[in-house]
Structure 1
Amino acid sequence: MTKVGAPLIHVENLCKSFEDGEVLKNVSIDIREGDLDSVIGPSGCGKSTFLRCLNCMEYLDSGNITIAGVTVSRTGTEEHLDRPFLEACAQMRKNVGMVFQSVNLFPHKTVLDNVMLAPLVVKKEAPDQARENALRLLAKVGLKDLAARYPATLSGGQAQRASIARALAMNPKVMLYDEPTSALDPELVNEVLQVMKDLDAEGMTQIIVTHHMRFARNASDYIVFMDGGEIVEKDDGDVLFTTPKNERTREFLRHFTEEVA
């Protein structure tokens, strides 16, 4: 599954702490354009915080993040967030789409209106253009026939696919997913994972925090194992699941032997 491509994402010495301690410790990684990379690891190891820093939903304390040519950087000595830093964060958010475990669709708007909203408000797209693009994206995720429905009438899998279409409507260079299927019934998981596979085939760069080890192994270009706020190991799925180099990786994967066999 290996692709040839330049790094679209470059992270160097990313650190992030909260009041109860350090969450990310000098995280460094390159992710190539067009790759689908899965991030796995125990609960509380920093996976979600890592994604939120990439989307500037959390501001890094120190280090550098570059995505599609936009860089946000801090030395850790700044007393406040200055205007150039905040402007760079705003620009980076335009390049990055994010899908969460909870769907967060606006309940009083139709599926179509949910997908159209950000392009209309943020990008100032013409209504006809926004509508045409939204219907195209809903068709991509298999929901065009449900465009007039409201979120409360959708299944969990349908609602999550609508969330993916909504994120894609901003034409991001990168898609991030934070446990997008963990709240779904097992029979609905595959319909969401299939959308990610389809986007991968189209060349979308994607990072997925997931606990679905079979998907991670079969669909990912690389798997990133995090533990204790650090990237412990990154490798091809077949290699990482069969011959992990680090003892922490081996110990974590022992719990998933049957799932990924």
Structure 2
Amino acid sequence: MKIDVLSLFPDMFSGVFGQSILKKAQEKSAVKFQVIDFREYSTNKHRNVDDYPYGGGAGMVLTPQPLFDAVEQLTSQSEAKPRIILLCPQGERFSQSKAEELAEEEHLIFLCGHYEGYDERVREYLVTDEISIGDYVLTGGELGAMVVIDAVTRLLPGVLGKEESHLQDSFSTGLLEHPQYTRPADFRGMKVPDVLLSGNHKNIEDWRRKESLKRTYNRRPDLLENKALSKEDEKWLQEIKDNKTT
């Protein structure tokens, strides 16, 4: 996958892209990152990328010309048609399913804005997706882009140590992940559940599924509203609701 980021502050990405999974993903040639200062595409003699909004109002608005020119150049160099993603509070709420969808693409271009927003023509005629990482406002789109890029990159083939590593992550199954334990089995009197030490893989899988349902019901019941459950899941969930499980 190729990921291009258009930002007025490209140095913000150097530490993020040079560490942990994102660094390993590049070393494994699973992804190639490029961060571009779109101010370089400004045709204004002062290299301005923003201007006052028509009709008046507070703040400045990003002008369309630098972003259009930058995206058009990147697109002309791409063998695949890229998804062009605008980070903004008005966008679709980012989710694991959206990360999985984007992970199937060959080329992503992220637009990171600042100031009071973008000229509306960027939304209407340039981008393919608008994404928000939550109902709050950040200084710019950079942090949002980092979140989306991290979530997408870890899903690429060969990036994680085991291909199944991400399959049981919270939200990957539509539920929150079950509790995890490691050694020692007894830490200061706090013990690992016996079932995890039993060696019975069927019982362990059943326990994990039940715990995942329980955690989702207790913490994010909204995730269960439209979730297709098996008859066994429904039975376990009813037991959880009746407080019959320990």
TM-score greater than 0.5 by the shorter chain: no
Larger Rg: 2
Normalization by structure 2: what TM-score?
0.25
Larger strand share, 1 or 2: 1
Normalization by structure 1: what TM-score?
0.24
* Greater RCO, 1 or 2 (C-alpha within 8 Å, sep 6+): 1
